[in-house]
């Protein structure tokens, strides 16, 4: 979907159509931008940007508080449209999914029809990428945004992939990108010059993945029922929490939200490990996790918060609690 949260709000308030609009938190506190429409993006505004900074870039920016329940309902309606065409749907978020339509004669026709139905039934725009695999389809979906369609046919893969910047490769973040740049690698064409042994020497077990993706090869199937690896909640506070006691006081409401999500999981899931995140006033952060705490009790999270606090002993701007999940289908291998 194109600027999903913001587009839903603009659809429901048409007078905002040509205005810079974002969905996010209060710029007077520590709110952040969750989504911005394309008018706002021309000012350099993007998701995860502090709201105060967004307002500084664009004083006329209209910031609307998020309404997650409304976006969930809209997402359900859009996924219902997907199910008209296939049951092989892998959600990535509320507004994005992979669809396996390899059983139909024309994937491009399906993409056009889906976009048409979203526009006529939901009055929103979506962009689609059509390609032989997930990696290329994801790249293609961003190629002609907003309200666009881009197709990569099998015989076009080689020409398309060669000039693709390495930053577009799945899983290549800043650290890996910097390492590749130091090797004078900027595009997939450059990356193709390294053989599998070179890549494994520099990047370990990720070398094989880089070798494959640099050639447009991705054999991952669309997984309609992905296994969830973790759940978490966090809060950024309007004013810093100055003491350990203030931090511990904030753990209970976070814990209640986390346990609500935990209990909504299917019975197959169980807690494997607990973790907490603390971000201090100066934006330094620490994470504490331990296999010793596997039962999600309030006291366990409080103990982890104490450990994290002792590492810096500075005012805190954000606290987060998380649970790493396992399923009954995942069995631990014996040592032998």
Whether the predicted pLDDT of 24 surpasses 70: yes
Whether the predicted pLDDT of 336 surpasses 60: no
Interval 96-120: pLDDT, tens: 999 999 988 899 999 999 999 999 9
Whether the predicted pLDDT of 315 surpasses 90: yes
Domain 4-66 has CATH 2.40.128.260: no
pLDDT band for position 335 (cuts 50, 70, 90):
very low
Q: Are 132 and 157 in contact (CB under 8 A)?
A: yes
- pTM for the full predicted model: 0.78
| Structure-block tokens of residue 59 | 């004083």
Q: Are 63 and 27 in contact (CB under 8 A)?
A: yes
Q: Are 321 and 301 in contact (CB under 8 A)?
A: yes
Interval 190-205: pLDDT, tens: 999 998 999 998 888 8
Cβ-Cβ contacts under 8 Å for 149 (sequence gap 6 or more): 108, 111, 112, 115, 127, 128, 129, 130
Which position among 90, 96, 246, 297 bears the catalytic label?
96
Q: Which helix (H) or strand (E) covers residue 138, if one does?
A: helix 134-141
Q: What is the pLDDT of residue 333?
A: 46
Q: Are 315 and 239 in contact (CB under 8 A)?
A: no
Cβ-Cβ contacts under 8 Å for 67 (sequence gap 6 or more): 9
Residue 251 exposure: Cα atoms within 13 Å on the Cβ side: 24
What does the mean pLDDT of the chain come to? 92
> Rounded to a whole number, what is the distance in angstroms from the first to the last CA of the chain?
48
Q: Which helix (H) or strand (E) covers residue 329, if one does?
A: none
Cβ-Cβ contacts under 8 Å for 40 (sequence gap 6 or more): 6, 20, 21, 22, 54, 58, 61
Q: What is the pLDDT of residue 329?
A: 57
Biggest CA-to-CA distance, the chain: 67
The residue extents of the domains of the chain are: 4-66, 69-152, 157-213, 230-327
Cβ-Cβ contacts under 8 Å for 330 (sequence gap 6 or more): none
Would you list the DSSP string of 254-266? HHHHHHHHHHTS-
184 vs 159: CA distance, rounded Å = 21
Q: What is the pLDDT of residue 328?
A: 64
pLDDT band for position 266 (cuts 50, 70, 90):
confident
- Give me the helices (H) in the chain, please: 4-12, 38-41, 51-57, 68-82, 107-117, 134-141, 157-162, 174-182, 188-191, 196-203, 207-213, 244-263, 298-312
Burial zone of 138 (CB within 10 Å; 0-12 exposed, 13-18 middle, 19+ buried): middle
Interval 276-302: pLDDT, tens: 999 999 989 999 998 787 789 999 999
Third-level CATH fold of 69-152: Alpha-Beta Plaits (3.30.70)
- CATH class held by domain 230-327: alpha beta
Whether the predicted pLDDT of 330 surpasses 70: no
Task: Let me know if 96 is a catalytic residue.
Answer: yes
Over residues 112-133, the mean pLDDT reads: 97
Over residues 231-246, the mean pLDDT reads: 93
Domain 157-213 has CATH 3.30.1330.20: no
* Three-class DSSP category at 187: strand
Segment among 144-148, 173-177, 324-328 with least mean pLDDT:
324-328
């Amino acid at each position: 979907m194109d600027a999903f949260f913001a587009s839903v709000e603009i659809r429901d308030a048409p007078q905002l159509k040509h205005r810079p609009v974002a969905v996010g938190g209060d710029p007077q506190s520590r709110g952040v931008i969750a989504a911005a429409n394309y008018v706002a993006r021309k000012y350099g505004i993007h998701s995860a940007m502090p709201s105060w900074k967004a307002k500084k870039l664009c004083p006329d920016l209209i910031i609307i508080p998020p309404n997650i329940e409304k976006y969930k309902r809209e997402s359900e309606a859009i996924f219902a449209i997907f199910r008209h065409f296939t049951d092989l749907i892998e959600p990535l978020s509320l507004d994005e999914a992979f669809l396996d339509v390899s059983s139909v004669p024309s994937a491009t026709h399906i993409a056009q029809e889906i976009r048409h139905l979203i526009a006529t039934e939901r009055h929103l725009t979506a962009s689609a990428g059509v390609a032989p695999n997930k990696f290329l389809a994801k790249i293609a979906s961003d190629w002609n945004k907003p309200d666009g369609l881009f197709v990569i046919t099998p015989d076009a893969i080689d020409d398309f992939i060669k000039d693709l910047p390495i930053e577009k490769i799945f899983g290549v973040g800043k650290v890996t990108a910097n390492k590749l740049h130091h090797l004078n690698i900027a595009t997939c064409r450059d990356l193709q010059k390294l053989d599998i042994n070179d890549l494994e020497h520099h990047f370990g077990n990720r070398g094989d993945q880089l070798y494959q993706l640099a050639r447009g090869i991705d054999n991952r199937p669309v997984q309609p029922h992905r296994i969830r690896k973790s759940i978490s909640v966090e809060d950024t506070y309007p004013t810093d929490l100055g003491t350990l006691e203030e931090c511990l006081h904030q753990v209970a409401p976070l814990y209640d939200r986390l346990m609500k999500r935990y209990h909504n999981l299917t019975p197959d899931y169980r807690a494997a490990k607990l973790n907490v995140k603390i971000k201090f006033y100066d934006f330094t952060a620490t994470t504490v996790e331990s296999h010793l705490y596997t039962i999600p009790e309030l006291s366990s999270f409080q103990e982890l918060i104490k450990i994290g606090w002792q590492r810096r002993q500075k005012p805190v701007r954000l606290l987060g609690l998380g649970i790493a999940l396992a399923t009954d289908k995942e069995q631990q291998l014996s040592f032998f």
